[in-house]
Amino acid sequence: MSPPPSPASKVDAASPVSTSQGWYEIQGMHVLDIITLAIRAAKIYYTAHNQPARLASIKSERKIRAELLSVMEVLKRMATRNFSHGMRTEERETIENWVEGVHDMLKQEEAIEEAEQKQRASWTWLDNSWEGKEIEREYAFMKSMDPDSSTLPEFTPTSSVSDNSLPTAFVSDLKTGLRLVMLHNSVVKKSKRQFGAIDKWHTDFAKPYRCAENLRFWIKAAELRWEVILKVDVMGVVTGTDKIAMQGFEDAIWKWCKKVREEISGEMKL
- Domains of the chain, start order: 16-121 (no CATH), 126-268 (1.10.418)
Residue 16 has pLDDT above 90, yes or no: no
pLDDT digits (tens, 9 = 90+) for 45-99: 888 887 787 888 899 889 999 999 999 999 999 999 998 888 899 999 999 999 9
pLDDT digits (tens, 9 = 90+) for 96-136: 999 999 999 999 999 988 988 888 888 999 988 899 999 99
- According to the model, what pLDDT value does residue 270 have? 65
- pLDDT range class, residue 269, cuts 50, 70, 90: confident
Nearest to 82 by CA among 152, 1, 27: 27
- According to the model, what pLDDT value does residue 9 have? 44
DSSP string, the chain: -PPPPPHHHHHHHT-HHHHHHHHHHHHHHHHHHHHHHHHHHHHHHHHT-S-HHHHHHHS-HHHHHHHHHHHHHHHHHHHHTTTTTS--HHHHHHHHHHHHHHHHHHHHHHHHHHHHHHHHHT-GGGSS--TT-HHHHHHHHHHHH-TTGGGPPPP--GGGS-GGGPSPHHHHHHTTSHHHHHHHHHHHHHSSS------------SSHHHHHHHHHHHHHHHHHHH-------HHHHHHT--HHHHHHHHHHHHHHHHHHHHHHHHHHT-
- pLDDT range class, residue 18, cuts 50, 70, 90: low
Q: Which residues contact 163 (CB under 8 A, 6 or more apart)?
A: 243
Nearest to 155 by CA among 138, 178, 179: 138
pLDDT digits (tens, 9 = 90+) for 230-243: 999 999 999 988 99
pTM of the model: 0.72
Mean pLDDT on 127-155: 95
